[in-house]
Amino acid sequence: MANILIVDDSSTMRKIISRSLRQAGLVVDEIFEAGDGIEGLGVIASGKSIQLILSDINMPNMDGLEFVKTVRGNGNTTPIVMITTEGGEEIIAEAMSSGANDSIKKPFTPDQLQEKLGGLI
Amino acid sequence: MSLNADISRMSNFTEEQLAGYVIDAATEVFSTMVMMEVKGEFPLKEPVSRFKCSITGMVGFAGTYSGVISIHCPVALALKITSNMLGMECDEVNDDLNDAIGEIANMLGGSVKQVLSKGGLDVKLSIPTVISGEDYTVNSLSDNDCVVVPFTIEEHTLLVGLTLKKED
């Protein structure tokens, strides 16, 4: 069982991701939600046990790239997968060089989540 | 409301190509995230700026290309779209409805951006903006640079518009 943190400024997308994880047959225990990178850092700082972080890139206040850099800068090694409309090669490369483990392009299917996340949780 | 010839030449895209990208993007977004099949039609010849009992979601581009992608949707259809996306009944205009339509605009923007920018760093996407109302008007300062594709879903029609300009 894994606890997952979803960081996305769209509450609709957070619900879709939560539902899709279960539709994909991924075994999820608790899901924490954050509306931007700053809120995401707050959830992490609260000391909750988190085994996987799914983060959007294009968000207000603190975007996903800054969020990943900050998480890694704090020494946190929890796997981070970007789930984003931003499919450009250079942006994904920047996310990966910042410390993200993988990326998933929106829109996505539950099968694509299973393929990308099955080995992480 | 057709694509300005200069814009078409500078952007290396024809109106038909851009309409095709819009149709491909909307078809993928609706089939995977909304669980609805949409049918794209030929781009509109005349602009549509006035909407009644509708909701409009917009995402801006800035950088090598600037512009806006927008989705204009009757509220009755937006309620069905939101209900499908959330997996629960949505029967009023509220934050969930605004968020769902904004997220569709965001995903459409992301898909079109991939066509405009392979790398992704030279074109920025804005955070979605959503407006709704009984009777409102949306004006672009460059309507002649816009492609608008109507989509049929059940008995409803929604419009997806793409305004585009290649920056110097």
pLDDT at position B11 is 60
Distance from CA of B39 to the nearest CA of A (A): 18
A87 vs B20: CA distance, rounded Å:
19
Distance from CA of A81 to the nearest CA of B (A): 18
pLDDT digits (tens, 9 = 90+) for B19-57: 999 999 999 999 999 999 998 988 888 778 899 999 999
Question: How would residue B1 be classed by pLDDT, with cut points 50, 70 and 90?
Answer: very low
pLDDT digits (tens, 9 = 90+) for B91-144: 999 999 999 999 999 999 999 999 888 788 899 999 999 999 999 999 876 655
CA atoms within 13 A on the CB side of B52: 0
Is A73 an 8 Å CB contact of chain B? no
CA-only gyration radius of chain B, Å = 15
Is A19 an 8 Å CB contact of chain B? yes
CB pairs under 8 A between A and B: 73
- Chain B CB contacts of A86 below 8 Å: 110, 113, 120, 125
| Token output for B115 | 């066509």
- Write the CATH number for B84: 3.40.1550.10
B108 vs B59: CA distance, rounded Å:
9
Nearest alpha carbon to residue B61 among B144, B123, B139: B123
pLDDT at position B164 is 86
pLDDT at position B139 is 84
B12: left (phi over 0), alpha (psi -120 to 50) or beta: left
Q: pTM, whole model, 2 decimals? A: 0.91
Domain borders along chain A are 2-116
For residue B36, what are the domain limits? 5-45+53-166
| ipTM value | 0.90
Q: What are phi and psi of A99, to 5 degrees?
A: 130, 0
A42 within 8 A of A54, measured Cβ to Cβ? no
B154 within 8 A of B38, measured Cβ to Cβ? no
**CB-nearest partner of B100 from A12, A85, A106:** A12
pLDDT digits (tens, 9 = 90+) for A5-53: 999 999 999 999 999 999 999 889 999 999 999 999 999 999 999 999 9
Question: Where does A11-114 show beta strands of DSSP type E?
Answer: 28-34, 52-55, 80-84, 102-105
CATH number, domain A2-116 = 3.40.50.2300
Strand partners, B150: B159
Does the beta-carbon distance from A90 to B85 stay under 8 Å? no
Number of domains, chain B? 1
Task: Tell which wins on pLDDT, A65 or B117.
Answer: A65
- Whether residue B3 is predicted with pLDDT greater than 60 in this model: the reply is no
| Token output for A78 | 């929890």
